[in-house]
Amino acid sequence: MPEDKKEIVGYRQQPGKLDFTRPGSGGSSPNSEKRDPSMIPQSQGGELDQPWGPHRHDDLVTGRIIGKRTPLIDSRWKVTGQAVYGDDVRLPGEIIGRLVRSDRHYAKVLSIDMTDVESIPGVLATATGIDAPSAFGVLPVTKDEHAMALEKVRHIGDIVACVAAEDEETARLASAAVRIEYQDLEPIFDMRDGLKDSPDPIHDRDIYHIGESNVQKRVFQRFGRISDLKNSIASYENEWTFKGVNHGFTEPHAVVAHWDPRGRLTLYTPQQVPHYVHRALADVLDIPMHQINVHRTYVGGGFGGKSDPFPHEMCAAILARKSGRPVRITFDREEVFWTNRGRHPSRISMAIHADKEGRFSGIETDALIDGGGFASFGHVTTYYNGVLHTAPYEIGAFHYTGARVWTNKPASGAMRGHGAVNSRCAVEVGIDHISEELGVDPIDLRLANLLPPHSATITGFRVTSIGMRECLERVRKESGWDKKFRKMPLGKGIGVGCGFFISGSGLPIHWDPNKFPHATVHLKIDMDGGVTIHTGAADIGQGSDTVVGQAVAEVLGLPMDMIRIRSKESDTSPVDLGSYSSRVTFMNANAAVSAAMEVRSELIEAASLITGVEASCLVLGDRRIFNKKDPAVGVSYLQALHKAQEDRGALIASGSYRTPPMGKMHKGAAAGLAPAYSFSAYVAEVDVDIETGRIKVEKVWAAHDCGKALNPLSVEGQIIGSCHMGLGQVISEEMKYGRTGNLLNPDLLGYKIPTVHEMPEVVPIIVESNDPEGPFGAKEAGEGPLLPILPAVCNAVYDAIGVRTNELPLTPDRLYRSIEKACKQQGIKDPRDLPNPSLEQTPLSDILIRRAKDHAKRDRERRLNPNPDAYYNGQLFNRHDTGPPEENDPDWTVQVLPDQEYLENPKLAGSAWLHKERRHMEGVE
Amino acid sequence: MKTPAFEVHMPKTLDDALETAKHLHEGGHDFDWISGGTDLIPNYKWGINPKPHVISIFGVSELKGISATRIGAMVRLQDIVESTVAHPLIVEAAGTIASVMIRRSGTLGGNLCLDTRCFWLNQSETWRKSIDYCHKCDEGTGADCRVIPNQNELCVATYQGDLAPALMCLDARIHLASHRGTRSMLLEDFFQEDGITRNVLETGEIVTHIQLPENSADFIGSYQKLRLREAWDFPEGGVAFSVGISADGTVSTINMASTGFESIPRKHIELIEALDKGPNWALEAERLGAELKRAVRPVLNTWFPPAYRKKMASVLARRAMEETSKRVTSG
């Protein structure tokens, strides 16, 4: 380009009067690239096919980066070993903290004697519960944790005291020298015992305590035409047992606390939710939040296990304050298991009913979940075990009773697929059983019972985009389902399972969503043209930094190397709720888009001033703003930027996101409410060794509706990773408690995460249902993909050997027990002689196939219609027209408290309602 | 986790090594031998019987070397797996051990001398404190056995080495050395039924190599292993089976040995003696399996429950036999 050369010569002659051009136009390639029409949506005159209709962000698409396979922007730090994780933080003068943990299951702490500790040379600080008596907890309604035990310890591994010393060896020596006097209390390990009255409930909720029991939370919900359940012609009823599982992340918890010379605390911690730690630290340390900087380090895996504010984070801060030195605490693996917050062990009674037309007349679920020693996220989990299986199927009635109890074990909490995984598995296995009873193909049965797009579930969740049908159709086709199902030899099988998950929790925990946004993103662009994004969203390896960068780069037409993310420190990031409930892509990228839109319009305004072209005719391309009717007329991004910066300097913009008003008003209506929902369907093929009970999962076809794959590379990664994690829960992983109540396998040899040998080939299939409110149509892909693998494998095992399971993990010994039982029932000596299940289709099949076809047409029309009619769950049963059923159907039940009739014969978790809250007892005011 | 401090001694020759051991012993110093360290060091980290001195035999060249009939104690497991001269049955069993990375460190001698394992033992010190310690590794605490309470006579921790049953099926002899001299014995006589004593090794004595009979190439066999995952996991039960084929093609000897069921690996001589060695030996697979199931006595201290492991003994034995038969037929 000869012109460029002339300008460079001129640069010396005319200092201060030259535009930035090359080099300096930004990005790694010197020249602006042409627009790629295949990346521009049809609605904008491009060639990008839009089978699900246009999207509100279509006009922001520059075709640069959204939808392209993009390596995560922090990946080079990780693969070169330069990423600083929790335990990599090294500050001058740091010392080592060590926690003193309970060796009792349940006991009163009578005294703590530090005499021997203080005489050890090198010990610099010690602390006990009285140093920080304020309670904290991730949910404001259930703050039941302390930095260290105040009066009693609630499980082996509960923290009693802490010490800090010059080095690790001294710290370990010191922690062993603390003398603690306990008075043992009667521990409980079986969650069923938690429902009973106890002489010493594990926590005391004062007047809100439920009887004298260990029930922490109970839920009762009854919706729909309960009376119809009697008319069902096929039913599935089973009692499930699910063992607890742990996240099994690679990086153990680690924290460094440092009080700087001005008296401000910086806490370095691999946290999914830095903001909640920020709040909890302020409470526990009794200092204002502005005196604290929470620095999120790189996170070596979280999966929900690093989203609570933790006692060890408090302990580090307390020890650092006492010693005046930075304090580092890193966990051993067994401490990770004692901290846990993994998936709740649960006992789920699942009943599903279908009527003669193959419709699901109702689901009745009773879920007792084992919370361990603390509340954590359990309040929400108790709801999720029920409400998250009210879709994707249209159901006639829904009855859920749930209870969470405290036991003397490490606390359960949130884990990938929070609260939805176990009951979803039971539902999907139930549907498989029902299709067997009805004599229909389970995929046909599902396809004929799906909620349409833009509908409301039975409890009133607003569902927008739904790609469920496409997921099922794709896995059916790609797996060769029709040729394999019930047609493979004994020992080989294929099974299907579906999933449904929230894309961001609709309600922020700490504030009114109408007053304060869920997510905020700030942008700053200075003369160099690079964009600095300030966000509080915690990148925990899922790629949230990348996705927010992509959103901004797309809108501004910039290459990724011009994007810089500052998401680590609370000092510089706007408040964000953190990485949980699969909210980040949906909420944070939406906030980023709106911030970028602000900058975009300033750039267009400036370009319009330079070129004289009307702003409405200008579009953004690669580092260029030009007239869409005459692309030759335009200015470079930097020219426009510098014009926009005249008289004011750096551009700054702020964007935020909050959920629209939605949902109903009954008690618990907010639990499970989300601005969008993801859907998925998996088919798994297995090989079962019928003589040993060993399952080998051979191949998985995994379809997930994520709305729009902003980065297909990471969506596929999430799908494959979810498969691996869910596979662990279905074939091998469990937290194993021995007869003494001790956790027997708090290590990665005993805790059986599937190895590469167990991992099947996964065929990820991305379905894009174009969510109207998601950023560029996107929904979550981080948690939902985990759900279907469990039932898909269980159902495939049935297809292989005709044995149904009701217990996970399905380890060989458990499956073998079921095989033996089946042999005994059928009078067979050798399991190799078990009959191979087969399917003889009944006439109902044709009815279902026809209905599915009609529904497919209905759904296509609804998704393309910008203003579809309201659709409420229940219309499939022709009971009411288009209005809400509770207003039109006199037999429609909405009930959130049990009646006397139920209490006469409650189910297991439902029996929690036999207790009265103390405040409702006689003699209590 | 922090490994307790210990002093490492690194002799260069066998004599040096034995001399170092003698010296430490006479000085009243406790010590352990270390070869690959994949078993010892994790145990040390967990405070399971750590010693102040460790003699590394890494540099002792006499302990290396692999041939068809002799394998040195310091031969790495992965070298056995990749060996073209080692007996196929040994190669098969070695290939099931842990993972490639661990096999690149672990050795034959270390695998044979593997410490016994138990849910109540292989835990950290803090953990063991919560069960009032373990009889096997917390001497001086007066701890009871947690697997079978009210007895602390016999430790029932489980032996979970994979190579021993395979070697027993090849009639291997194990050679030991100490400053007092050398001795050798059939491998089945090396082990002693107690989770603490484990074997006949005396203080200062080490395994130098194993020796196979000259005709070991005439043995054909199979090793079947029960475990939850195909990598890392120790055997929850393992059965090796072999037949010796004479020059005329008939079966001259039959061997079967098991591991992972009890505190020692066991060669099941009585079961085999009753077996018909005629051309129809393979038809007895079902019966032999049932007998092995009766013979083994697992306890509840590994991942799978003992009742399941017992039942699987019969499946493993039958499969080992069927596989051997298949291999005999295919030559």
* Secondary structure (3-state) at B180: coil
CA distances from A147 to A123, A312, A569, B160 (A): 20, 7, 23, 41
Q: Cα separation of A483 and A481, whole Å?
A: 5
Contacts of B126 in chain A (CB under 8 A): 101, 103, 334
B132 against A20, higher pLDDT? B132
- The string of pLDDT tens digits covering residues B68-113 is 999 999 999 999 999 999 999 999 999 999 999 999 999 999 999 9
How high is the pLDDT of residue A7? 47
Of all helices (H) and strands (E), which one includes residue A639?
helix A637-645
In terms of pLDDT, which residue wins out, A639 or A325?
A: A325
Q: Is A172 in contact with B1 (Cβ distance < 8 A)? A: no
Chain A hits for B303, Cβ within 8 Å: 736, 745, 750, 752
Q: Is the ipTM of this complex over 0.90?
A: yes
From A690, which residue of chain B is nearest by alpha-carbon distance? B315
Q: Enumerate the residues of chain B whose CB falls inside 8 A of the CB of residue A155.
A: none
The pLDDT of residue A1 is 39
**Between chains, do A752 and B303 touch, taking CB under 8 Å as contact?**
yes
Residue A857, CA distances (Å) to A391, A440, A448, A879 in order: 20, 22, 12, 21
Distances (CA, A) of A535 to A569, A715, A736: 9, 21, 40
Those residues with Cβ within 8 angstroms of residue A13's Cβ, 6 or more apart along the chain or in another chain:
none
Nearest neighbour of A103 by CB, restricted to B122, B126, B229: B126
What span, in angstroms and rounded, lies between the C-alpha atoms of B209 and B109? 7
Look at residue A506 in the predicted model and tell me its pLDDT: 87
Where in chain A are the domains? 86-185+250-301+306-339, 416-507+671-888, 517-657
- Token code pair at residue A362: 């109702």
Mean pLDDT of B266-271: 95
DSSP structure class, residue A136: B
Q: Is A632 on the interface with B (CB under 8 A)?
A: no
| Measured distance CA(A360)–CA(A272) in Å, rounded | 38
Percent of chain A with pLDDT over 90: 90
Tell me how many degrees the CA angle A664-A670-A676 measures, rounded to the nearest 5.
90
pLDDT, tens digit, 9 for 90 and up, residues A78-101: 999 999 999 999 999 999 999 999
pLDDT of residue A93: 97
| pLDDT tens, position by position, A601-619 | 999 999 999 999 999 999 9
Residue A597: what pLDDT? 98
pLDDT at A230: 87
Contact between A312 and A329 (Cβ < 8 Å): yes
Element (H, E) at A798: helix A789-801
Does residue A11 surpass a pLDDT of 50?
no
Chain B residues touching A752 at Cβ < 8 A: 228-229, 233, 303
Query: What one-letter code names the amino acid at A15?
Result: P
Q: Is A835 on the interface with B (CB under 8 A)?
A: no
Residue A24 vs residues A41, A550, A607: alpha-carbon distances, Å: 30, 21, 18
Do the two domains A416-507+671-888 and A517-657 of this chain adopt the same fold? yes
Cα separation of A779 and A768, whole Å? 9
Residue A755 near chain B (CB below 8 Å):
yes
Q: What is the 3-state secondary structure (H, E, C) of A256-273?
A: EEEECCCCCEEEEECCCC
CATH superfamily of the A86-185+250-301+306-339 domain: Aldehyde oxidase/xanthine dehydrogenase, a/b hammerhead (3.90.1170.50)
pLDDT at A4: 47
- Strands B53-56 and B7-9 come out as parallel
Lowest-confidence range among A17-31, A285-299, A398-412, B3-17? A17-31
Domains of chain B and any CATH numbers:
1-59 (3.30.43.10), 217-329 (3.30.390.50)
**What are the chain B neighbours of A740 within 8 Å (beta carbons)?**
131, 146
Would you place residue A21 in the very low, low, confident or very high pLDDT band (cuts 50, 70, 90)?
A: low
Q: Kindly state whether A833 is in contact with chain B, defined as any CB-CB distance less than 8 angstroms.
A: no
Which residue among B5, B119, B126 places its CB closest to the CB of A738? B119
Under 8 Å between Cβ of A100 and A159: yes
Supply φ then ψ for residue A741, to 5 degrees. 85, 0
User: Is the CB of residue B296 less than 8 Å from the CB of residue B313?
Assistant: yes
Residue A766 has pLDDT above 90, yes or no: yes
Query: How high is the pLDDT of residue A772?
Result: 96
Average pLDDT over residues A916-921: 92
Within A45-114, residue ranges assigned H as helices are: 75-79
Interface membership of A750 toward B (CB under 8 Å) = yes
Strand A95-101 and strand A327-330: pairing?
parallel
CB contact under 8 A, B304 and A813: yes
Tokens representing B177 are 């050395």
Q: Which of B99, B303, B308 lies nearest to residue A816, judging by beta carbons? A: B308
* Mean predicted confidence (pLDDT) in A866-873: 92
Q: What is the token pair recorded at B46?
A: 């967990």
A618-644 per-position pLDDT tens digit: 999 999 999 999 998 999 999 999 999
Cis omega before residue A885 (within 30°)? no
Establish if A881 touches chain B: CB-CB under 8 angstroms. no
Is there a contact between A101 and B126 if contact means CB atoms under 8 Å apart? yes
| Neighbouring residues of A497: CB distance < 8 A, sequence distance ≥ 6 | A424, A425, A428, A429, A681, A682, A684, A787, A788, A789, A790, A791, A792, A793, A794, A795
| Average pLDDT of the residues in A291-318 | 97
Q: Say if the Cβ atoms of B233 and A812 lie within 8 Å.
A: no
Q: Is A740 on the interface with B (CB under 8 A)?
A: yes
Query: How many Cβ pairs closer than 8 A exist between chain A and B?
Result: 69
Nearest chain B residue to A176 by CA: give it: B126
pLDDT score of A879 = 67
Nearest-by-Cβ selection for B229 from A334, A742, A754: A754
Q: Give the pLDDT confidence score for residue A555 in this predicted structure.
A: 98
Q: How far apart are CA A152 and CA A408, in angstroms?
A: 11
Q: Does B131 touch chain A (CB under 8 A)?
A: yes
Q: Are strands A327-330 and A292-296 parallel, antiparallel or unpaired?
A: unpaired
**Residue in chain B lying closest to A743 (CA):** B127
Which string of b and e fits B250-274 if b means at least 16 CB within 10 Å? ebebbbbbbbbbbbbbbbbeebbee
End-to-end CA distance of chain A: 87
* CA–CA distance, A705 with A244 (Å, rounded to integer): 28
Which of B38, B99, B126 to mutate to test binding with chain A, by most A CBs within 10 Å of its CB?
B126
For residue A2, what pLDDT is reported? Answer: 45
DSSP-assigned letters across all residues of A181-246: EEEE-----SGGGGGSB-SS-SS--GGG-BTTB-EEEEEEEEEE-GGGGGG-SEEEEEEEEE--B-
In tens, the pLDDT along A141-156 reads: 999 999 999 999 999 9
How far is B233 from chain A, CA to nearest CA, in Å? 7
The per-residue pLDDT for B144 is: 86
* pLDDT tier, B62 (very low <50, low <70, confident <90, very high otherwise): very high
B81 phi and psi, to 5 degrees? -60, -40
Q: Which two tokens stand for residue A116?
A: 């021997």
Best B127, B158, B318 residue to mutate vs chain A (most A CBs within 10 Å): B127
Q: pTM value?
A: 0.96
The single-letter code of the amino acid at A410 is P
Q: Which residues are registered as beta bridge partners of B226? A: B237
Question: At residue A470, does pLDDT exceed 80?
Answer: yes
Q: Which of B300, B308, B315 to mutate to test the interface with A (most CBs of A within 10 A)?
A: B308
Mean pLDDT of B121-126: 92
Evaluate whether A546 touches A66 at the Cβ level (below 8 Å). Answer: no
Among B residues 187-246, those touching chain A with beta carbons less than 8 Å apart:
226, 228-233
Topology (CATH) of A517-657: Aldehyde Oxidoreductase; domain 4 (3.30.365)
Is residue A393 within 8 A of residue A224, CB to CB? The reply is no
Among the listed ranges A87-91, A269-273, A405-409, A875-879, which one has the minimum average pLDDT value? A875-879
Indicate the class that CATH gives domain A416-507+671-888: alpha beta
Among chain A residues, the shortest Cα distance to B127 is held by A103
> Directed axis angle between helix A637-645 and helix A589-611, to 10°?
90
**Residue B126 and residue A756: Cβ atoms within 8 Å?**
no
Residue among B131, B231, B312 whose CB faces A742 most closely: B131
In this structure, what token pair is assigned to residue A318? 């307390």
Q: How confident is the model at residue A25 (pLDDT cuts 50, 70, 90)?
A: low
- Determine contact: B134 vs chain A, CB below 8 A: no
